[in-house]
Structure 1
Amino acid sequence: MERNNLYPIFLKSKNLKVLIVGGGFVAEEKLRFLLKSSPDANVTMVAPFFREDTISIAEKGDVTRIEDHYKPHYLEGKHVVVATTDSPEVNIEIYNDCRAQSKLVNVADNPPYCDFYMGGIVTKGNVKIAISTNGKSPTTAKRLRQFFEEVIPENIDDLVINLNHYRKTIKGTFEEKVEQLNQFTKTLIS
């Protein structure tokens, strides 16, 4: 059986500079989900045109739009790049330029040209769950996201906040603290 070997991380996208190349439906989808998960993300978009809905979404966040075709200098100072153009050749050029500069890159709908995937995300207050299908089935990730949005209670954040307060009151070594928290929370899954 094939295994998902991706390593999940949660990026502080406010501290990073994200570039989305493209202004069509796919760019709009990537921007929408990025800002839904990280409304304070610092994003630049480069495209010869932007859909009206994309402009509307961009205006709600910290998004700079540049009307132009991709040029390598747009990578300067960027940490994460998402290529969404309708030209496979341009997307691969972006990928190669990013790899040459050690920048993380995602070429939409082209897994061999991705350092990362933008999976399904469920957010309930401080709780965030990322879902990956190893780039094989975004639809499955979407359905799992919908499932978890339904089954995770809205008040889960109260538990997180209360456990954070409780954690600060526990005395002892790291191992003793972990054991106390494990004992305290084991009823959550039984």
Structure 2
Amino acid sequence: MNYYPVFLKVENRKCLLVGAGSVGVRKLGSLLECGPESVTVLDTSEPGSDMLLLLEDPRVRFEQRAFVPADLDGIFLALACTSNNEVNRLISELCRERSVLCNIADYPEGSNFIVPSVVRQGELTLAVSTGGASPAFTRKVRRELEVIFGPHYGAFITLMGRIRPMVLDLGKETSQNTALFRQLVASPVLEELEAGNMSLVEEQLGRILPDELVSRIPELINELI
């Protein structure tokens, strides 16, 4: 099966996590990074130490009880990772009936999306999936990407995120802006960030940016690395 790749916005959305074991800990940690309004966590057992740390987040509400269908009311996204296959399948069926996005651990055929392996460097997000065929190989690829795409990539994305609105505010032609952004991407700025040569980063920006923005370079590169 070919999955349609998409990055899902869960900011200010209500989510449900059923299962607070080790898999649930990983899923909740990833979910909280993306700014949900709230996450209700259900499990019939007491949470472990790793889960207890995550439960300190005010957006998370833990209830030690079994799942009931009403738990899906108003839910945007549901994650199920219990050790009870019957419960997991029930959640899958109810989500399908209610058009709720759901991921059921170890049951891709009952999920309407799968969770890829992710590498993050600041605002740069790389997602890797083998469509469930080989999670072990997915992890291998992720580890390789972590080596290739180091923290300097995150710093570069932050820099571009600062530059872009300043350039657009100048009101120049779209073609000029496009050429400028491409020149920045093709420049040695990324490599100089990796080496920590901020003076050379500043020098490169001075050559590329419009004259109106040169005075703002110290602001642009402040605390990048």
TM exceeds 0.5?
A: yes
Distance 1:151 1:27 in 2: 29
Q: TM-score, normalised by structure 1?
A: 0.83
Shift of 1:54: 4.6
Contact 1:43 1:64 in 2 (8 A): yes
**2:121 alignment counterpart:** 124
Q: Which runs of 5+ in 1 are unaligned?
A: none
Q: Deviations over 1:36-87 (max 9, x none)?
A: x43x432111121133135323324321111111100000111100111222
Q: TM-score, normalised by structure 2?
A: 0.71
Q: Which runs of 5+ in 2 are unaligned?
A: 191-225
How many residue pairs end up in the alignment?
Answer: 185
Q: Deviations over 1:84-108 (max 9, x none)?
A: 1222221111111111111000111
SS in 1 for 2:15: strand
Distance 2:138 2:53 in 1: 23
Structure 1 residues 64 and 9, CA gap change in structure 2 (3 angstroms): same
Shift of 1:181: 1.7
**2:178 alignment counterpart:** 178
**2:198 alignment counterpart:** none
Q: How does 1:1-190 map to 2 (within 5 A)?
A: 4-11=2-9, 13-35=10-32, 37-38=33-34, 40-41=35-36, 42-61=38-57, 62-167=59-164, 168-169=166-167, 171-187=171-187
Structure 1 residues 156 and 101, CA gap change in structure 2 (3 angstroms): same
Distance 2:97 2:72 in 1: 11
SS in 1 for 2:11: helix
**Residue identity matched to 1:151:** I
